[in-house]
Amino acid sequence: MIPSKQLLIKILLKKAKGYSYKEKTDEYVVADGEKKWVKSKTVTKRVQPDVNAVKALISLDEGDDVTKLTDEQLQVEKLRLIKLLNTVGDPIEPPAEED
């Protein structure tokens, strides 16, 4: 079983990156008191990336206020988050802190 924080991060990454899903619709007609299938339609829909999910990831991963970070720290954080977004579907482990 995946730990709850790791599962939450995985879900937030999916939402932050956006995803596709398939939606199936069946059409029926009532004739002679009976329901009869007429046709089926499957459509692939796209959920757009969500900035709020990215903000939630930042707040989960960093307990610090991002407004207090230096430009260099922000650049490092940006690169780290881009790397995280590119690994959706893989187990996520926060990178080790450097001294």
For the chain, the structural domain boundaries read: 19-85
- Residue identified by tokens 């720290």 is 73
Please say whether the beta carbons of 55 and 79 come within 8 A. no
Q: For position 28, what pLDDT does the model report?
A: 92
Between helix 4-17 and helix 51-61 the angle, nearest 10°, is 150
Is the pLDDT assigned to residue 23 strictly greater than 90? Answer: yes
Q: Between 81 and 33, where is the model more confident?
A: 33
pTM over 0.85: no
Q: For position 22, what pLDDT does the model report?
A: 96
